[in-house]
Amino acid sequence: MGVRGKRNYVSKFQDIFRQTDRVDDRKLEVDNVMRKQYGLQGPLSWSEFTFYAWRQRVRDQRANNTANVLDTLQAVKAGSIANEITKAVMRYCYDHAAKPPRSKDQVEWTMETHGDLFVALLGTPNALGAGWLLADHNDELGGYIVDKIITSGVDGGLNIVFKSVKG
């Protein structure tokens, strides 16, 4: 796909993205419309979906001169967790932390302070996409890594916070 074809694809993707209300419905809707209406395959993964959404936001901010592109991506957030695997890992981490927090406490997990528990959280279905997003689009996103994961209780959300490793 050439540059023009890729731009067309992203433009169609963004149009569909903006027309859907709920984030949970967007990937399915984008896949369906891209396939039926345009004969194109939708994004294969949530990391691709997230990347295109971020890229559109950057374009909008550039058009309004409101952001430095590399400073716009700071975190990926999951507002509430419904996935049982993620919840089970979160419970395990809360129970096995060196200083176990209460189940409703907000906790910052980092590699330095929590080691394997941090890695376990990063490997959950709700956090894994952020890692793939950074791995798949490292250059476009400015060389970020996952710095910390903030949990808002076992039944709360995840906030996967990034930091730049470039100069």
Q: What is the arithmetic mean of pLDDT over 154-159?
A: 81
Helix (H) / strand (E) containing 123? none
| 93-138 tens-digit pLDDT | 988 988 878 767 788 889 888 899 999 998 888 888 788 888 888 7
- Report which of 149, 161, 146, 131 is spatially closest to residue 51, judged by C-alpha positions: 131
Domain count, the chain: 2
Residue 146 falls within a domain, yes or no?
A: yes
Residues 27 and 80 in one domain: no
Residues 87 and 121 in one domain: yes
Domain boundary pick from 14, 43, 63: 63
Residues 107 and 51 in one domain: no
Helix, strand, or coil (residue 77): strand
Give residue 113's domain range: 74-164
Domain boundary pick from 13, 31, 63: 63
| 74-92 tens-digit pLDDT | 888 877 788 888 889 998 9
**Taking a C-beta distance cutoff of 8 angstroms, is the pair 41, 9 a contact?**
no
d(CA 154, CA 132): 23
